[in-house]
Chains A and B, each alone.
Chain A
C-alpha cells in the first residue's frame, strides 16, 4: 500500500523523530511511504479561533493535494481530527464538500492505522521502561481512539504500562488556548503531571506530540525526572 504521511508543522520542526519513526515502521512493514513536501499545516489554529475563511485558505490546497490518496496517516489525533472530522464541516455546502468527505474516509491516526487498517500490533519493538499513556482529547473523543495505542504498547518487549486514573483528562494544551489562557492551561497541565507522577512511570507516552509538548514543557520547568515520548518513537525501537 502507498501510505501518504501528513507531517504536522510542529512535528516537522520540533519533533522530527516522530515522523522518522513512522517512516521506519511503515517501510519495515513493506509499505511505500510518501510525504508531500509542500504541505505545511492543516489550518486548525485559524479554524479553532473562529476564522474559518482563513482556515479554508490553508485547508483548500491541502484537500486538493490529498483527496486522491490511498491512505493519509497522521501521528497526531488533533491534526487527524481536523482532516477527518472538521474538514467536512469547514467545506459543508461548498463545491469541495465531496472531496472533504472522500478525504475523511481515508485519513488515519497512526496507531489506529496500524491496528485497525493494517491489523498489526506486534512490531517487534523493545523498550524496557515503565510508561503511562495519556489519551489526547481529539484522538480519544473526535476519532474514538482508545484501544489501538494500548494494543501496540502491550506488545512492546520490556515495557510496563501503568495507567493513571486521569488518563482521559485534558493536558491543557488546546492549541491557541495555551497562549490565550496560559494560567488555565498551566493549571490543567499541572493536574496532569501530578496524576502522571503518581504512577511512578519513567515516561508519559501519547499519540499526540502537541499534548506532549505541553506536558514536557511543565516537567522540564519543574525539574521532574519523568520524560515524554511519542508512541511512534517507542514502536520504532528495536
Chain B
C-alpha cells in the first residue's frame, strides 16, 4: 500500500487538469450556490442563526457526557437497545452480532457516513450478507463499487448518461437521459429489496437528548422505508450528533437543508423514538442504536479544535472549497473529504499520515465563512500544520526556515541575497520550466515576474 500522501498527489494531478470534471463540478455547485443564497436570504438573519447554532452545538459538545447519558436513558425507557462502540471494529462486531442473532440474510441500508467510516458494507458482505443501499446516489456508487464522492451528493461526479449506462449494464434497463426515468429504474430495483430485507440500517442527522429520539432528514423517502419495513432497525451514529432539545430542530433542520442543498427544508424529516410500542400497528419490532466514538473523544480532548465536533455534515464547506472543486471528492482518500475532512481526518486516522490534507489548502477561508455552525475550519488547518511540524518536523524545511530567518534578520545579508538573485536571473531563462529549474513547481505552468532594476527600498534610499 502506498502512503496516503502519494495517492493524494497522483490523484490530484490527474483530476485538477481534467477539464470535463472541472466543468461538471463547477456547474453543479454553481447552481447550488444560487439556491443556497436564495434560501439563506429567507432567514431573518443567517448570521444570527449561525451564531445560535454554534452556541447550541457548543453546549451539546461541552456537556456531551450528560447529554449522551440522557439520550440513551430515554431511548432505553421505550425499549431501544443502546450500544456503545469505542472504535470501528467494535461497532462492526455489534452490528454483525445483531444480524447473526436475527438469522438475517438481506439488509437494506439508507445513507450513513458513519457506516462508510467503519467500512460496514464490506464487513457485512464479507460475512455473506446481501446489502443494498437505498439512497439513489449511494445505490449508484454502490453499483460502481466506489465510495461516495461527496458526503451529501454521493454521485455528483456522474452525468445522467453515465448513470444510464451503469443501469443498462447492471440492471438491464433501457437507455434513458430523463432523471425521472432513471429514478424509476432504481426505485423498481429497490422496492423489492425493502420488502424482503430482514434488517434496515440507517444513520442519523441528529440525536435529541431531551426526548431520546433520532432525527433523519432525506429527500427520497428511502430512509423511512428502510426504517419502517424490516423487522429490525439499526441506527449507527457518531456521538457528536447530539442536540440538547427537540426545539433545537426548529433551527437545525432548515439550516441543514439550506447550507447543505439550498433547500428550505429537506423532503422528509422523521423522528424515531423506539421500536413498535404496544398498540402500534407499524414500525420495527426491535430497534438498536449504536453510538460510535472512533477517536471523536480525542478531538473532544483538544480544546483548540473541539468545535470540529459541531459539524452537522451538511457539506457546505466542500461545496464552496476551491480545492475540493478542483481535485474532487475521491482524491482525498478519506470518508470525510473537503475542508472538514482535512481538519478531522488527522485526528481520526493519525496526524502524520494525513497532514498533507491540511497542507493542501490556500487557507482562503471560504469554508469557515460557509460553515453553518461556525467551525473555525481554515484556522484548524493551520493548527494541524503546526502540530504536525512540532511533532515530526521536516529536517529540510526547518533548516530552510532557519536559514531564511537568519538572512531576513540581517539587512546586509538580505541585500546581498537580492543582488545574487538579480545576478542569476538572466540565466534563469535557460532552464525555465525544465526539470533543472529550481522554480519548476511554479514555472511549469506560470510565468515568473522579473526582479525590478530598482527595488522599492533602493528607490526609497535614493530619493532621500
Interface residues of A (CB under 8 A from B): 7, 9, 11-20, 23, 35, 37-38, 40-41, 43, 45-52, 54-55, 57-58, 61, 137-138, 140-142, 168-170, 172-175, 177-189, 191, 213-214, 216-218, 220-221
A181 to B444, CA, bound (A): 12
Give the distance to chain A from B349, nearest Cβ to Cβ, in Å.
Answer: 19
In the complex, are the beta carbons of B359 and A217 less than 8 A apart?
no
Q: Enumerate chain A residues within 8 angstroms of B2, measured Cβ to Cβ.
A: none
Give the distance to chain A from B382, nearest Cβ to Cβ, in Å.
Answer: 7
Known contacts A141-B369, A177-B362; A218/B322 CB under 8 A: no
Q: Enumerate chain B residues within 8 angstroms of A137, measured Cβ to Cβ.
A: 362-366
In the complex, are the beta carbons of B323 and A184 less than 8 A apart?
yes
Q: Enumerate chain A residues within 8 angstroms of B398, measured Cβ to Cβ.
A: 51, 54
Given contacts A23-B460, A191-B325, 19 further A-B contacts (CB under 8 A): A12-B455, A14-B451, A40-B411, A41-B404, A45-B404, A49-B389, A51-B397, A54-B404, A140-B365, A174-B362, A179-B442, A184-B323, A184-B360, A187-B17, A187-B326, A188-B362, A213-B449, A217-B447, A218-B446
Known contacts A50-B386, A51-B397, A51-B401; A177/B360 CB under 8 A: yes
* B393 on interface, CB distance cutoff 8 Å: yes
Q: Enumerate chain A residues within 8 angstroms of B402, measured Cβ to Cβ.
A: 54, 57
Give the distance to chain A from B233, nearest Cβ to Cβ, in Å.
Answer: 42
Contact check: which of A61, A184, A189 meets B409 at CB < 8 Å? Answer: A61
Q: Enumerate chain B residues within 8 angstroms of A47, measured Cβ to Cβ.
A: 382
* B452 on interface, CB distance cutoff 8 Å: yes
Within B390-411, which residues are at the interface with A (CB < 8 Å)? 390, 393, 397-398, 401-402, 404-405, 407-409, 411
Q: List 8 A-B contacts (CB under 8 A).
A: A46-B401, A48-B363, A58-B404, A141-B366, A177-B363, A182-B442, A220-B446, A221-B447
In the complex, are the beta carbons of A46 and B456 less than 8 A apart?
no
Q: Enumerate chain B residues within 8 angstroms of A48, measured Cβ to Cβ.
A: 363, 382, 385
A84 to B187, CA, bound (A): 56
Interface residues of B (CB under 8 A from A): 12-13, 16-17, 22, 26, 322-323, 325-327, 359-366, 368-369, 382, 385-390, 393, 397-398, 401-402, 404-405, 407-409, 411, 414, 418, 421, 441-442, 444-452, 454-461
In the complex, are the beta carbons of A13 and B451 less than 8 A apart?
yes
Contact check: which of A23, A43, A49, A221 meets B397 at CB < 8 Å? Answer: A49
Contact check: which of B326, B409, B451 meets A57 at CB < 8 Å? Answer: B409
In the complex, are the beta carbons of A20 and B389 less than 8 A apart?
no
Known contacts A37-B461, A184-B323, A186-B446; A170/B397 CB under 8 A: no
A48 to B397, CA, bound (A): 12
In the complex, are the beta carbons of A174 and B361 less than 8 A apart?
yes
A213 to B451, CA, bound (A): 12
A9 to B405, CA, bound (A): 13
Q: Enumerate chain A residues within 8 angstroms of B12, measured Cβ to Cβ.
A: 181, 183-184
Q: Enumerate chain A residues within 8 angstroms of B460, measured Cβ to Cβ.
A: 19, 23, 35, 37
Known contacts A37-B461, A41-B408, A216-B449; A16/B454 CB under 8 A: yes
In the complex, are the beta carbons of B446 and A189 less than 8 A apart?
yes
In the complex, are the beta carbons of A14 and B452 less than 8 A apart?
yes
Give the distance to chain B from A81, nearest Cβ to Cβ, in Å.
Answer: 10
User: Which of A40, A48, A172 has most chain B Cβ within 10 Å?
Assistant: A40
A45 to B385, CA, bound (A): 12
Q: Enumerate chain A residues within 8 angstroms of B456, measured Cβ to Cβ.
A: 7, 11-12, 16, 18-20
Q: Which residue in chain B gives the minimum CB-CB distance to A179? A: B441
Contact check: which of A13, A52, A177, A189 meets B452 at CB < 8 Å? Answer: A13
Q: Enumerate chain B residues within 8 angstroms of A9, measured Cβ to Cβ.
A: 408
Q: Enumerate chain B residues within 8 angstroms of A54, measured Cβ to Cβ.
A: 398, 401-402, 404-405
In the complex, are the beta carbons of A12 and B457 less than 8 A apart?
yes
In the complex, are the beta carbons of B366 and A217 less than 8 A apart?
no
In the complex, are the beta carbons of A50 and B385 less than 8 A apart?
yes
